[in-house]
Structure 1
Amino acid sequence: MVSLLYVCVRPELGAADAEHASFRRALGVDVVDRLDLLTERLDPARLARYRGVVVGGSPFNVTDPAKSVEQRRVEADLESIARSAAAGEIAAFFTCFSIGVVTRMLGGEVTSATPESASATVIETTAAAADDPIFGPSAPSLTVFTAHKESAAALPDGAVLLATNAACPVQAYRVGTHLYTAQFHPEPTPRDFADRMTFYRTTGYFDPEEFDIVQRQVLAASVTEGAALLRRFAETFAPATQL
């Protein structure tokens, strides 16, 4: 039985397909089902069949001044998943753009004041993360990939800060025991992330004239702890899917 679901919110099919493969490898499972919220509506009955959900990244921003009907629908469906996870009905790991959706749902502010360009970044775990089954073993710090234009302005009410750094103070937090959020991308290898950059070469995550330089830096980085977080997420909440 498949117990994990990858929720796709990327309009770029090639990038979405590669991200799905990255999550499957990082989670350490044979099969991770896929739900593409840009082409399918969230079905609560289908969601209930899974023990865990991972939400991928997106070029969408919560702070976008003008949103398509499609983006508004995606954000509403992500909020539904987040509410289920906050209630402990399902485990969910939100990444990238979707941490902003969760932050807004919790009444927090999302800001464009603390962006991070496409790069490997060191983040520090907090004292509160020491006993967390997902983040605790990665203490005191880990290197992950970042690329975002917005982030949580502050930790929202009811959340537990798990990871931070000077550039972006809210890198990861947990709500209750089943809802995890991360501003960074935990799933890609350096090769995965370098390949993903080609889809977003002119979208503002790095200077397009420095593409080759940034890509070489990404490929030279040693980044493994993000995948370790996801492996522990699968082992904790969906052990039946282990290889």
Structure 2
Amino acid sequence: MRPFLILQLRENDAAADGEFEAFLKYGGLSRNENVRIRMERDVLPAVDLDDYSGVLVGGGPWNVSDAPEKKETRQQEAEAWLTELLQRIVGQDVPFLGACYGLGALSIALGAPVSKERFGEAVGGITVEVTADGVDDPLLAGLPQTFRAFVGHKEACQSLPEGAAWLAKSSTCPVQMYRVGKNVYAAQFHPELDAEGLCMRTDVYRHAGYFPPEEADAIKALARQEKITEPMKILRAFVQRYRN
């Protein structure tokens, strides 16, 4: 059985490990079914996509739309490496699921506009609506027409990549999920994130500009009132569909 490649970019170890464990837990992945690369610090290897069942990219504090002079050298190097990888993934229609930053990175690789101009969303729960194309998609099959999910992002894809299938939207950010080809997916919301995970990230990123620091406790209290269950089914469906 080929492993899944999990790519991360969180410099904080607690946030990175929490995200990684959530991918395993909600994806139904065992520890010997993945290869983990932390792009912010690890050696960025040559990747043979034939070695993997699929590729997952998580979120983090980087913004793909920032001007090059605002990015540290490591971010620039990692994003160049990732863009080349994503272009090969799209060209070969390799199973891929990008979350939050993963959507932005894929969108940029596809030539779609990503910016902080519109559609950024505050940290917390939102209502996601499945589109007509989404209803027929195998990863969203059986999900309700609307469901709650956690978000928190400064930048957003301003319009769909050319030829992409629009799978989900929200009132605050139209491009919540799309598919390119048959197997390449991206979601602006987090399919791996539960309430405790959001609370942990709220503490980690309290001073990262997502919200006024004094609002952190209120954000965590609201998160614990949410019943977030449907996004994880998308992650599980991705793993089950492409595990081989």
Range 128-137 or range 179-188, more displaced: 128-137
- Over the matched positions of the two proteins, sequence identity in percent amounts to 33
CA contact (8 A) 2:130 2:169 kept: yes
CA distance in 1, matches of 2:28, 2:146: 22
> Where does the alignment leave 5 or more consecutive residues of structure 1 unmatched?
none
CA contact (8 A) 1:129 1:135 kept: yes
CA contact (8 A) 1:110 1:152 kept: yes
Aligned residues: 238
CA contact (8 A) 2:125 2:149 kept: yes
CA distance in 1, matches of 2:230, 2:167: 14
Shift of 1:210: 1.3
Match for residue 59 of structure 2 among 57, 60, 81: 57
Which residue of structure 1 aligns with residue 214 of structure 2? 209
1:147-172 per-residue CA deviation (whole Å, 9 max, x = no partner) reads 00000111110211110011001011
CA distance in 2, matches of 1:82, 1:110: 16
Q: Which amino acid aligns with 1:43?
A: A
CA distance in 1, matches of 2:63, 2:38: 17
Matched, 1:20 2:20: yes
Q: How does 1:9-158 map to 2 (within 5 A)?
A: 9-31=9-31, 32-38=34-40, 39-45=42-48, 47-65=49-67, 66-112=70-116, 113-158=118-163
Q: How does 1:170-185 map to 2 (within 5 A)?
A: 170-185=175-190
Shift of 1:75: 1.4
Q: Which amino acid aligns with 2:105?
A: V
Q: Which amino acid aligns with 2:45?
A: L
Segments of 4+ moved more than 6 angstroms: none
CA contact (8 A) 2:93 2:182 kept: no
Q: Structure 1 residues 56 and 95, CA, compared in 2 at 3 Å: closer, same or farther?
A: same
1:104-153 per-residue CA deviation (whole Å, 9 max, x = no partner) reads 22121112121111101111011011221102322411211100000011
**TM-score normalised by structure 1 residue count:** 0.93
CA distance in 2, matches of 1:131, 1:88: 23
**TM-score normalised by structure 2 residue count:** 0.92
Counterpart of 2:123 in 1: which secondary structure? strand
Shift of 1:2: 4.9
CA distance in 2, matches of 1:29, 1:105: 27
Counterpart of 2:234 in 1: which secondary structure? helix
- Note the aligned Cα RMSD (angstroms): 1.5
